[in-house]
Amino acid sequence: MTETTVNAGIAHGLFTEGDKIADTRAPAGPIAETWTRRKFEAALVNPANRRKLSVIIVGTGLAGGAAAATLGEAGYNVKAFCFQDSPRRAHSIAAQGGINAAKNYKEDGDSVYRLFYDTVKGGDYRARETNVYRLAEVSANIIDQCVAQGVPFAREYGGLLDNRSFGGVQVSRTFYARGQTGQQLLIGAYQALERQVAAGTVEQFTRHEMLEVIVSEGRARGIIARDLVTGEIETHLADAVVLASGGYGNVFFLSTNAMGSNVTASWRAHRKGAYMANPCYTQIHPTCIPVSGDHQSKLTLMSESLRNDGRIWVPKRREDCDKDPRQIPEEDRDYYLERIYPSFGNLVPRDIASRQAKNVCDEGRGVGPMVGDFRRGVYLDFTDAIARLGKAAVEAKYGNLFDMYARITGENPYEVPMRIYPAVHYVMGGLWVDYDLQSTIPGLFVTGEANFSDHGANRLGASALMQGLADGYFVLPNTIRDYLARGPFEPLSADAPAVVEARSSVEERTRRLLAIQGERSVDSFHKELGHIMWEYCGMERSEEGLLKAIDLIRGLREEFWRNVRVLGAGDTLNQSLEKAGRVADFLELGELMCIDALHRRESCGGHFRAESQTEDGEALRHDDEFLYVAAWEFAGGTGDGEMGAPVLHKEDLVYEAIELKQRSYK
Amino acid sequence: MATTTAPSRPASARRTTIALKILMAGTGLVFVGYVLLHMYGNLKVLLGEEAFNTYAEHLRTFGEPILPYEGLLWIVRVVLVLSLVGHVYAAFSLWSRAGTARRTKYAAAKTAMRTAWMRWGGVFLILFLAWHLLHFTILKVSPNPDATGPDVENNPYELVVASFQVPWMTLIYLLAMGALALHLAHGVFSAQQTLGLTNTPAAYRRAKVVGHATAAVIAVGFSIPPLAILFGLIK
Amino acid sequence: MNLTLKIWRQAGPRHTGDLVVYKVKDISPDMSFLEMLDVLNEQLNAKGEEPIAFDSDCREGICGMCGLMISGEAHGPEKTTTCQLHMRSFSDGEVITIEPWRANAFPVIKDLVVDRGAFDRIIQAGGYISVNTGSAPDAHATPVPKPDADRAFQAAECIGCGACVAACPNASAMLFMGAKVTHLAELPQGQPERMARVVSMVDQHDHEGFGGCTNVGACSQACPKGIPQDVISTLNKDLRTAMRTGH
Ligand SMILES: Cc1cc2nc3c(=O)[nH]c(=O)nc-3n(C[C@H](O)[C@H](O)[C@H](O)COP(=O)(O)OP(=O)(O)OC[C@H]3O[C@@H](n4cnc5c(N)ncnc54)[C@H](O)[C@@H]3O)c2cc1C
Ligand code: HEM
Ligand code: HEM
Ligand code: SF4
Ligand code: F3S
Ligand code: FES
């Protein structure tokens, strides 16, 4: 057999292969009618019965907040959880650029089909057609809803909404609110949610962390949560559970995600039987402020728009790397993106710009302070733009970004070229869901960044907000009713075996984390894991590196459960304990990500395998072998930190409405 | 469907801290109006005894015969007393509320001078007022050993001139004017803000200017007669 | 740089607290204030002392989760959030006092962490526009004049951090509330509930135990988003109108 037919992962006994996923529950028929049909076919719940039905929603970001408000309005009994002190703080708040919608307000040829097409193509043909089409279809309603809630989108002088083009697409379909679109959308959803709290339909649990799902007789029936203030372990039961717990980019330790973003909710569900799909698909954003030292706790994103006018370069010679950039003459500079991609230049897609930046730094030509063995940064130079447009024009366009840069780095970007470096930004992978957003555990629904989503192997700018709100306001409320119509289910008592098991496993885990009393802090483990992931499962992945990473992660996980030091008690606010639980789950997720990356011996979207590139170093997809979603089933290992070899279930991707093509940016 | 948005507790606009503030602003503006008129009257001292005393008399006979003698004055007095009660009530309610709103103080606090001025300055103004009324209206005592007796005490002009020939008396008044200026510099701006007249950055800046200007005009206007008397320009 | 920190330590809501002195060495001026505390926490952990609890999440100045009183100034000496404050704003050898927000409506949970649930309850009292999902007209059905939209936006920038309350000598939350009332009052969509909203929100504000406003303006100065004091004027005006129209 040739190398391509025996997967390295199987060869090393890292996973096994199970049955294919046969049904995604999307109704058959023309794609443009699928959603209408699904809504019609989904059973209705009589308003009087809704009060008797309860839903738990974990997460109050765009996806969870919108769903909680909408289900509350419909009259269901909703309990909404978040670990922050208020729903308004969910990580969604940090999104800057904007939200896409096929409104075609600019009359520039946009349409539902074009948004659908762009999203599938942008995702490098690794997304499910029916879901993406629906996303494009409901996108317009999102804008209507948000405007009615008072979201202050940018407007033109005529009083109508303004749009811009974003992320290299040719139509202007992005709605925005200065650089704070996520904030404004989230505040809109938050206010709708608070209205329902006041109306008594939603009960809000802030500073609560979900630590386990309760699965009884094959259905998700509730969660175990820790009250982060009192430390009390609480049981919450319901007829259905929705996870809207966001993305897990923080497995890399350094990312643009909020400090608290984590995988715990998803991972606990995964361990209880929910499949995890495409976990290795990670988006790395090229324009972030570089790391300045070991103390760094997170990375800050700067808008991609900077690449419109800034020129990216590094010195041609390593010796020049610590010189003042202004002293390096033109002929000693390497404008590498313009050199390699003459037609797109500095505007190549995120993954390409990121990978090339890493390449030049790995060659030792990076700039800025030494971090570890390398300088991790490239120049983003506005000297030409300032000469061409004038300082005032550059200031008008980018002033707030320049200010932010100056505040964080203490350097003046009008004088000295900015330094940028790629950073982990978004994960396309997540819990596998069917067309109804239901996971493989009946009654467990997953929305927003937490599901494996509609973005395939790469997400277009301004589409995550769209997906979160589409899921929350329009999709989930329609699909979950089909499930709820079968309820209310038999009430579960507090001493039902499933409840007792879930509860005691949480209590035991908490007790154990506090009892280890080892030598190393939680953060030191997290940093080390992040380092491994970034090195071997970051922008470029290879078989050798991934195998090494898996070993390293296993070693680290073993050490964690032996040597972590979590001080303080379990019955008060204990931030080390919270972090420890999250890092413990990251240590398991990291391994699965590496296995997924190892098994997918092709390059697609955000996933670049060194072994799968064209002669000139471009990503090479293998549609013949990998035109599927990889959905992983957790196998074995009930104890903390124990994992068996996961089982791979493939969901074949079928393209009927769109023709498959290879990307090219040369 | 459970989509009602009625507040859980019946709320009334009248029972809010903002209503208290509006009361304070309204009464404060009554004071400002009064003080401006009073200042105008005082400046008549500069025109001599007759002008001043005629003015004082005119105040008492204004509106006769529809109003009785001193009718207008009594109306003004009633309005002023009610305003003072309202103003002080609101000031003390908010003051005590602020005290309970932060029971644990900061160890490293930047002191909020402005609130202190307003509150202690207000208390100082009340004390001054009591003194002032005893002095000019109720007891009508002249502190000047060189000019005493019923002639002086029953002649407003004489009383004023006699009083401010005494330096410490003038000093007390000047201090009071300082306190008043501070109170009004913030208070007049504050009243506009409270009444919702400063909804744009421009209006906001204007309100600040109006506050300082009013304070300056009043302080200067009131200070002219005592100083003129002290320095012997008026005898 | 080397610093002396006096940090408020309090074991729980019902415990009494105290300022405890810590020394930190070799702090890089490029660190953010919270990263400096992270370093201290790692040191404490290594020594077997419980780390200091403080809130943060986005560390980008947008979520509003962080917030410390730094030597008497809310969010410290710069006009930004605590997470975006960098150590280059301090000098070597400086003594820095770090306290939680102080207001009775924001009880201390632990160390530097306070409970700002009162803000959520103020929003619950009416800080929204009542529109059920799916019932919205087309977004272009109601044009909004750009100046109104801009002012609404400026007010909507509030991140709910609570620095205004922390800085106000009266511990008043008028700036926070004024920002929300102004945001919604500037938009046509906000008109139907305008009067009921303001009364209900102010009532809740008072009920939570925040102080009344005496137009001091320390709130605006501390606000990392530069929410101007004129939003309080709009709030006052709406309340006065509500009073006049019998609400
Ligand atoms: C810096 C930055 C800029 C971005 N800009 C854009 C942009 O311009 N356009 C765009 O479309 N997308 C953008 N994105 C992506 C987008 O913001 C996110 O993908 C999206 O907001 C995710 O929303 P969500 O609702 O799924 O999850 P989140 O907003 O992350 O919410 C997660 C929620 O789950 C809760 N939670 C998690 N775990 C638990 C638990 N165990 N127990 C209880 N609660 C839990 C949290 O408290 C939180 O409420 C950006 C992302 C970043 C990092
Ligand atoms: C016991 C006496 C007084 C006390 C305790 C007092 C206290 C106060 C306080 C606390 C304020 C609110 C300050 C603020 O909003 O920041 C205020 C406002 C004001 N005061 Fe006084 N004051 C007193 C007497 C006076 C007098 C005698 C005058 C006028 C001559 C006056 C005029 C005003 C005005 C115009 C305002 C502005 C109203 C507003 O803030 O909305 N006050 N006073
Ligand atoms: C230099 C400053 C002032 C001078 C010279 C002055 C002078 C006088 C005089 C002469 C009278 C008696 C008038 C009469 O009975 O006809 C009087 C009354 C009065 N003054 Fe003043 N005054 C001064 C400042 C103030 C200030 C600052 C206030 C208020 C804050 C004030 C409030 C009053 C009041 C309330 C009365 C009583 C009026 C009445 O009879 O009802 N005065 N003043
Ligand atoms: S008004 Fe400013 S200081 Fe107050 S909560 Fe909002 S952002 Fe923070
Ligand atoms: S500081 Fe306080 S008094 Fe009013 S203007 Fe600001 S709330
Ligand atoms: S941590 Fe989010 S604003 Fe500071």
Residue A293 and residue A540: Cα distance in Å, rounded? 23
The single-letter code of the amino acid at A366 is G
Residue A627 and residue C200: Cα distance in Å, rounded? 56
In Å, what is the CA distance from A405 to each residue of A299, A382, A408, A419, A421? 12, 13, 5, 9, 13
Asked if residues A387 and A414 have their Cβ atoms less than 8 Å apart, the reply is no
Q: What is the rounded average pLDDT for all residues in chain B? A: 88
Which pLDDT score, from 0 to 100, does residue C194 have?
96
- Alpha carbon of C213 to ligand 5 centroid (Å): 5
Strands C73-74, C69-70: parallel, antiparallel or unpaired by DSSP? antiparallel
The pLDDT confidence band at residue B9, using thresholds 50, 70 and 90, is low
Asked if residues A258 and A270 have their Cβ atoms less than 8 Å apart, the reply is no
Strands A647-652, A628-633: parallel, antiparallel or unpaired by DSSP? antiparallel
The single-letter code of the amino acid at A339 is R
Residue A588 and residue B30: Cα distance in Å, rounded? 72
- The answer to whether residue A563 scores a pLDDT higher than 50 is yes
- Which residues share a beta bridge with A54? A77
Asked if residues B25 and B196 have their Cβ atoms less than 8 Å apart, the reply is no
**Structure tokens that stand for C175 in this block:** 């700036």
Asked if residues A455 and A470 have their Cβ atoms less than 8 Å apart, the reply is no
B39-50 pLDDT per residue, tens? 999 999 898 889
Does ligand 6 have an atom closer than 6 angstroms to the CB of C65?
Answer: yes
- The answer to whether residue A502 scores a pLDDT higher than 60 is yes
Which pLDDT score, from 0 to 100, does residue C211 have?
96
Does B149 map to a domain? yes
Which pLDDT score, from 0 to 100, does residue B232 have?
86
Closest CA to A94 of A252, A285, A242, A266: A285
Strands A99-100, A282-288: parallel, antiparallel or unpaired by DSSP? unpaired
Q: What is the ipTM of this complex?
A: 0.94
Which pLDDT score, from 0 to 100, does residue B7 have?
53
Measure CA A99 to chain center.
16
Does ligand 6 have an atom closer than 6 angstroms to the CB of C81?
Answer: yes
Cβ–Cβ contacts within 10 Å for residue A382, how many? 22
Three-state DSSP at A3 gives coil
Is B2 in contact with A75 (Cβ distance < 8 A)? yes
- The answer to whether residue A2 scores a pLDDT higher than 50 is no
Residue A506 and residue A235: Cα distance in Å, rounded? 11
What is the pLDDT averaged over residues A35-46? 96
- Alpha carbon of C232 to ligand 4 centroid (Å): 12
B8 touches chain A (CB under 8 A): yes
B66-104 pLDDT per residue, tens? 888 888 889 999 999 999 999 999 999 999 999 999 999
Does B141 map to a domain? yes
- The answer to whether residue A599 scores a pLDDT higher than 60 is yes
Which pLDDT score, from 0 to 100, does residue A1 have?
39
Residue A556 and residue A660: Cα distance in Å, rounded? 41
Which pLDDT score, from 0 to 100, does residue B112 have?
63
Report the percentage of chain C scoring pLDDT > 90: 98
Closest CA to A462 of A19, A192, A102: A102
pTM of the model: 0.95
**Residues in chain C where the model's pLDDT stays below 50:** none
Asked if residues A466 and A134 have their Cβ atoms less than 8 Å apart, the reply is no
Q: Mutating which of C25, C57, C193 best tests the A interface, going by the most A Cβ atoms within 10 A?
A: C57
What is the pLDDT averaged over residues A45-50? 94
Q: Where is average pLDDT lowest: A132-136, A184-188, A354-358?
A: A354-358
Which pLDDT score, from 0 to 100, does residue A3 have?
45
Does B6 map to a domain? no
- Interface size between B and C, measured as CB pairs under 8 A: 167
Q: Is C70 left (phi over 0), alpha (psi -120 to 50) or beta?
A: beta
Does B9 map to a domain? no
Nearest ligand for residue A259 CA: 6
Report the percentage of chain A scoring pLDDT > 90: 83
Q: Where is average pLDDT lowest: A72-86, A618-632, B128-142?
A: B128-142
* Cα dihedral across residues A313, A319, A324, A326: positive or negative: negative
B5 touches chain A (CB under 8 A): yes
The pLDDT confidence band at residue B1, using thresholds 50, 70 and 90, is very low
Give how many domains chain B has, as a whole number: 1
Residue C81 and residue C77: Cα distance in Å, rounded? 10
The pLDDT confidence band at residue B117, using thresholds 50, 70 and 90, is confident
Residue A155 and residue A252: Cα distance in Å, rounded? 38
CATH code of residue B165: 1.20.1300.10
**Structure tokens that stand for A145 in this block:** 């809803």
A143 touches chain C (CB under 8 A): yes
Is B106 in contact with C99 (Cβ distance < 8 A)? yes
What is the pLDDT averaged over residues A11-39? 93
**CB proximity under 8 Å: A 36-75 to B:** 47, 51, 72-75
**CB proximity under 8 Å: C 118-137 to A:** 119-120, 123-125, 127-137
Residues 6+ apart with CB under 8 A from A62: A90, A92, A182, A185, A186, A189, A448, A465, A468, A469, A472
Q: Which residue among C164, C205, C206, C213 has the greatest number of ligand 5 atoms within 8 angstroms of its CB, and so is best to mutate?
A: C213
A507-531 pLDDT per residue, tens? 999 999 999 999 999 999 999 999 9
**Higher-confidence residue: B9 or B209?**
B209
Does B106 map to a domain? no
Closest CA to C33 of C104, C117, C98: C98
What is the pLDDT averaged over residues A193-216? 97
**Structure tokens that stand for A210 in this block:** 């979900």
**Structure tokens that stand for A45 in this block:** 């719940």
Residue B125 and residue B182: Cα distance in Å, rounded? 11
Which pLDDT score, from 0 to 100, does residue A638 have?
67
C41-65 pLDDT per residue, tens? 999 999 999 999 999 999 999 999 9
| A350 noted as active-site residue | yes
Residue A505 and residue A663: Cα distance in Å, rounded? 47
Which pLDDT score, from 0 to 100, does residue B3 have?
46
Range of the domain at B132: 19-101+111-230
Q: What is the rounded average pLDDT for all residues in chain A? A: 94
- The answer to whether residue A343 scores a pLDDT higher than 90 is no
Does B178 map to a domain? yes
What is the pLDDT averaged over residues B35-39? 94
Burial class of residue A646, CB neighbours in 10 A (0-12, 13-18, 19+): buried
C8 DSSP assignment? E
Asked if residues C172 and C219 have their Cβ atoms less than 8 Å apart, the reply is yes
The pLDDT confidence band at residue B111, using thresholds 50, 70 and 90, is low
**Higher-confidence residue: B70 or A438?**
A438
Does B63 map to a domain? yes
Distance to chain C for B41, nearest Cα, Å: 31
Does B115 map to a domain? yes
Q: Where is average pLDDT lowest: A301-305, A334-338, A568-572, B114-118?
A: B114-118
Which pLDDT score, from 0 to 100, does residue B8 have?
58
Contacting residues of C for A72, CB less than 8 Å apart: none
- The answer to whether residue B148 scores a pLDDT higher than 80 is no
DSSP string, A362-430: IIII--SSEETTEE--EEEE-HHHHHHH-HHHHHHHHHHHHHHHHHHH---TTTS-EEEEEEEEEE--E
- The answer to whether residue A5 scores a pLDDT higher than 70 is no
